[in-house]
Amino acid sequence: MDGDLWMRALYIGLLLAALSGWAMVEMRKGAGRTGRMALAWGMIFLGVVALYGLWGDIRRGIRPGQEEGAASVVLPRAEDGHYYATLTIAGVDVQFMADTGATEIVLNARDAARLGITGEGLAYTGTAMTANGMVQTARVTLRDVSFGPFSDAEIPAAVTTGEMDISLLGMSYLGLFDISIAGERMELRR
């Protein structure tokens, strides 16, 4: 065993000795009361352990919100290093990851369905190379698109058959803006 492991074992041993001493003193006051208190502390401990174990998932689900001004939208960098934007399309809010490496807007199947775009009426005649390999795409037109103070009547996009957690906001849309990235912020202006 190395020195670090010995120190950890010593720490745990001292902690167990302190808890055992506390338990013996409390036992003299009555076993029922001590049992209830030990159970309460055990539940608190389990709650802290569960929160610690889930914290990464909780933080991933919380993304910083975009700031909308009169002539710009500012996207703060999320914990995962990406920028996320919310566009309103035909009255439905859709979350996108801003992807300057993507050629166009690409909707995943879930977001397409929320917008009323279903697979039955789509012609998957295109293909795209993604991180997950080659996928089929279908061309669509998004109507009534709003992004902060900006509105567009029609924007071309694609729906993919590939597995995507989030839809992508590619350069066919981002190219309509002057983009500046400084520090932890991406600012889009027209």
The token pair at 81 is 């290093």
If asked whether residues 18 and 73 sit together in one domain, one would say no
If asked whether residues 105 and 141 sit together in one domain, one would say yes
21: pLDDT strictly greater than 60: yes
Secondary structure class of 109 (helix, strand, coil)? helix
CA–CA gap between residue 85 and residue 100 (Å, rounded): 13
If asked whether residues 35 and 13 sit together in one domain, one would say yes
Instruction: State the CATH number of the domain containing residue 149.
Output: 2.40.70.10
64: pLDDT strictly greater than 60: yes
- Boundary-marking domain end, from 44, 61, 78: 61
Mean pLDDT over residues 100-114, rounded? 91
Tell me the CB-side half-sphere exposure of residue 111, using CA atoms within 13 A: 31
If asked whether residues 161 and 91 sit together in one domain, one would say yes
If asked whether residues 13 and 80 sit together in one domain, one would say no
Secondary structure class of 12 (helix, strand, coil)? helix
* Stronger pLDDT, 41 or 169, i.e. the higher one: 169
The count of other CB atoms within 10 Å of the CB of residue 108 is: 19
119: pLDDT strictly greater than 90: no
61: pLDDT strictly greater than 80: no
pLDDT of amino acid 115: 94
DSSP of 18-58, one letter per residue?
Answer: HHHHHHHHHHTT-HHHHHHHHHHHHHHHHHHHHHHHHHHHH
Which amino acid appears at position 14 of this protein? L
Burial class (CB in 10 A: 0-12, 13-18, 19+), 60: exposed
Range in 1-5, 13-17, 114-118, 178-182 with the lowest mean pLDDT: 1-5
The tally of domains found in the chain comes to 2
pLDDT of amino acid 110: 92
* Stronger pLDDT, 85 or 162, i.e. the higher one: 85
What is the extent of the structural domain holding 139?
A: 67-189
Beta bridge partners of 179: 188
